[in-house]
Structure 1
């Protein structure tokens, strides 16, 4: 291995005022941190949950009481070190209580995405062999009961929403209130047992199992020790300081590594108040009510917010549209000069931030996938203090971030404290594989020593599999997955992800998949953003019935053709999109086309849509589709349609490519 360049976060001055190392050193496990907070700040608010329109407060004392009761009940049920407690459902306080209760009895917690289907759950249960499951409600409980005797390791299924549960008589089922009563009775018999359990937890015990994204295969389970979980929170808080009383809304799934960092680690270490939305669908309106000091949204959510803003402007008066277009243009132009447009701030952006619930933001972040620089600049222009993060589940989430005084829209910033990033096997332009080392990397993959060995080099560096380079300012630039970097049959190298992000800045594009590997030119499969495109169509009295029908309309093809051509103007000639089709359905994680964190599974796409791809790279002008779509509720729908293969203006160049 040859290392081209490297940078260490220890050489970068981060905010020492946010260093919570002393508290973590004194309380070096999650249960110890919780107990310490409960003793020192029993009446301070730790969590809130919105229920029936009312925000209910949970103090540190109550938080600890719930965990105590659950932990003592787990102890009574025989949950012990080496066991696994699985948790599934929406973001709820009960999720966090169950997680830390599991850690208190030295068991490991495993978060499962709420949208996971039965086969995904069967795989994870067979892999991790959980003894206990904490499931939110009837919907989640049903997934386990339907698996029958395929999940013999599960002895108890605990639910915390009793609606619809009276019809079940499975002996494994326990209502959370009854479980906590069991814990209260145990505490009455042995008042010191909880403190004994907490004191017995060890900082080097594995506490959390977290699923990897699984872009190419079934997810693996990364193992995190208490020391890594809390230690990385300390380093992160040095780079992006938060403190007691700062508000946060838990929008993203608690099974994801980054939500774990904020809703669990930052909550315990910085005493940041975590607010849980009423429903996934109400999250953005709940965000406006809370007005958080910090927010983490995935690039997909930021893209949806930006698209929704533009969609709302489509319904406004011509005068308001003119003001908006002027303000955005002025704001982005100022950002590109490293400034802020005060006129745009006064006339447009101040009110817009308030409308979105962003008025009190001290910091905002995006991570989990790449964000296009156009979307990034849009929010920066709006005055949202947005930073780009980079990392992997194996690295405990983010380990690079922008500094406040040095934000570059094309990069992911600098490594955090104690983190070193290297570029190995770089080409002549300095681009190679990104590798990382810091003291809080995963211990390894659970029950998977072979993949663990392959994930690290002989010096203990984690091999990310991502291509990137360090620019002249020592910012890390992430280009794409190494395996996804492509080359046309004409020898033109390109990054599919880079072009896809350009397309997704469009108000009308929900998802895009760039094609062209070993082909004569670059093409795209595009999914329309249905809520916005349908609104656009209704305003123009274009008749349609379904997503499939709308995506096939000639007016929609013309609309998207203009959007693709606008992107092409900012791409090198050889990397421009020559053809595209509008897919007859949205890409869906339930169909295996996306990961649960909304990353494209390119191998699945290549296999599933091979016929369409073949037609794109032929002389055919249409692709006939006759297929059946299965929905999560078990219903099916037959789709019979014809997709137009849209050629773009550069006909001569394309014909020359095809002829050769």
Structure 2
């Protein structure tokens, strides 16, 4: 057996025994509950045999429709033991999206999270011919006519009581596993069309896990990580598998809304996240600095200057820090940075990988100055996540790092980033035409992202090629760069830049509503509703001034000439965001067409 994932949990159970592999917050009692490596391996064993008894066979696709919980990882590794693929469905998916994936992947067995997920699955059962069984992690009420669902405990009991022939069959499948077996289908979030299932064979993971250990030299089994991005996202799935491969304890955060409390309670040394998390941290810290007295502000400014010199001018490039600078840094670290990191819950921090969208240079430099080791990276579902990331020494702010070992990157036509190597998908499930389009004639994967490689070998992203647009004056605009810059502001939550074939650039902006209410109270601005507040001329003038400051350095044709404030956020439910929280530009252009036209009618 050459597949790392297939026997991973058992190998770690032999090595670590009763040491904690996972921890989760028990909803009934609230404290964090540990699951040992031995218990984890026993659950995987039972689940693997239960799947076999329910009719799972090699090359089947096993669906998982749930928010993060330990059972999601048990289901994954039980599927691998049967040479079946795990197909993660975002817990925020609609009825239509769930049914699309079940039908596309031909899912026979589906794990569900909450009662709501169970009810969506029950409806899907009548509309999806392949679906035969539901395994419910957390079902409060079983529908009266339901003979097709097992609770997770009933499912594990089925495995525990498996006859010897089931045990032998699962072992035979483990022994016969090959690198070409599909490990998982990762459905892309579909910003411009229907989702596609990227097929990632076991060979991708058998390549990528050692690559990460080789690149991320500071991580070890002494680290801990918190899992809060969805495990249906390749970034979190891949990172969590790296953690398990290294022997790290993983805290599984069940409720994304509780993440800030969870981080403070668990104080992880590692955590992967999207830039939006750090943008919010930055905005909160800036707001706190704004409320400080003059002496405190001077102290913080001095601390940041010292932190920047020490961490960016010396540590970043491996230079020895001068003794006096090191003494100054330790002084400020104890009085300014450590309290700041404690408030966030990352006072024991090692590395914090971030990817999925651009992170502004300002925020990146600020976090590094504070001793928060943000590791910017770049990757896609189709590349088993990481293509590039910051090296421990010699990273360049403004880039997404250098290529990880044994992966190759080159720049093709229209500055498109092309990738080759052992971590690239074999294609899109059931979509031969889309697969053919995704590769160059000589086999390089087309990322759809534009970029360039600098003189240090680091990759610089310029934009998503499909997002690039041209104004009616013939000027190309990269909207993500503008959106990322505006995202630094404490009063701006979400931005959609508009301007394709238009005479100038505009934006639909969702303000940070709580911060806006606070501002209105301070300035004694009266309003009856959020719609009333975002229409207020004083509010619009304030946002305009902040945009003008943020846009310094942009060419005149890139600057936002007009904008419209919305009284409510873009959401997945509203259709404006994908499950990975990327903006669906076609939806926004259609949904807010009247508001957009009004910005060009003047």
The residue that corresponds to 1:354 in the other structure is: 342
1:258 aligns with 2:235: yes
The residue that corresponds to 2:322 in the other structure is: none
Cα distance between partner residues in 1 of 2:172 and 2:313: 58
Change (3 A) 1:49 1:27: farther
Cα distance between partner residues in 1 of 2:34 and 2:170: 24
The residue that corresponds to 1:503 in the other structure is: 486
Correspondences of 1:427-506 after superposition (within 5 Å)? 432-506=415-489
Cα distance between partner residues in 1 of 2:225 and 2:263: 9
Change (3 A) 1:322 1:547: farther
1:156 aligns with 2:137: no
Among 561, 578, 582, the alignment partner of 1:595 is: 578
Stretch deviating more after TM superposition (90-99 or 513-522): 513-522
Gapped runs of 5+ residues in structure 1? 1-25, 427-431, 620-660
Deviation at 1:470, TM superposition (A): 1.0
Contact 1:29 1:203 (8 Å CA) reproduced: no
1:203 aligns with 2:203: no
Cα distance between partner residues in 1 of 2:266 and 2:163: 36
SS at match of 2:155: helix
Give me the TM-score of the superposition, normalised by structure 2.
Answer: 0.92
Deviation at 1:324, TM superposition (A): 4.3
Contact 2:185 2:199 (8 Å CA) reproduced: yes
Stretch deviating more after TM superposition (146-155 or 500-509): 146-155
Deviation at 1:376, TM superposition (A): 1.3
Deviation at 1:499, TM superposition (A): 1.1
1:54 aligns with 2:31: yes
Cα distance between partner residues in 2 of 1:275 and 1:568: 39
SS at match of 1:30: coil
The residue that corresponds to 2:9 in the other structure is: 34
Among 80, 83, 92, the alignment partner of 1:106 is: 83
Contact 2:312 2:369 (8 Å CA) reproduced: no
Correspondences of 1:153-302 after superposition (within 5 Å)? 153-162=130-139, 164-166=140-142, 168-187=144-163, 192-241=168-217, 242-263=219-240, 265-302=241-278
State the Cα deviation string for residues 605-632 of structure 1 (Å, max 9, x = none). Answer: 222222222111121xxxxxxxxxxxxx
1:394 aligns with 2:385: no
Moved over 6 A (4+): 333-336
Cα distance between partner residues in 1 of 2:42 and 2:566: 51
SS at match of 2:359: coil
1:567 aligns with 2:550: yes
Equivalenced residues, count: 587
The residue that corresponds to 1:16 in the other structure is: none
Higher relative contact order (CA 8 A, sep 6+): 1
1:611 aligns with 2:594: yes
Cα distance between partner residues in 2 of 1:155 and 1:143: 14
Correspondences of 1:544-583 after superposition (within 5 Å)? 544-583=527-566
Change (3 A) 1:510 1:311: same
Cα distance between partner residues in 2 of 1:140 and 1:321: 49
Among 77, 80, 83, the alignment partner of 2:57 is: 80
The residue that corresponds to 2:391 in the other structure is: 403
Change (3 A) 1:315 1:446: same
Among 74, 81, 106, the alignment partner of 1:97 is: 74
The residue that corresponds to 2:319 in the other structure is: none
The residue that corresponds to 1:7 in the other structure is: none
Gapped runs of 5+ residues in structure 2? 316-324
Cα distance between partner residues in 2 of 1:416 and 1:171: 49
Contact 1:30 1:268 (8 Å CA) reproduced: no
Give me the TM-score of the superposition, normalised by structure 1.
Answer: 0.84
Contact 1:207 1:224 (8 Å CA) reproduced: yes
State the Cα deviation string for residues 55-79 of structure 1 (Å, max 9, x = none). Answer: 1111111111111111111111111
SS at match of 2:271: strand
Change (3 A) 1:446 1:247: same
Cα distance between partner residues in 1 of 2:433 and 2:158: 42
Cα distance between partner residues in 2 of 1:80 and 1:492: 55
For the aligned residue pairs, the C-alpha RMSD in angstroms reads: 2.3
SS at match of 2:418: strand
Change (3 A) 1:199 1:40: farther
The residue that corresponds to 2:320 in the other structure is: none
SS at match of 2:162: helix
Cα distance between partner residues in 2 of 1:492 and 1:189: 68
Contact 2:311 2:371 (8 Å CA) reproduced: no
Deviation at 1:353, TM superposition (A): 1.0
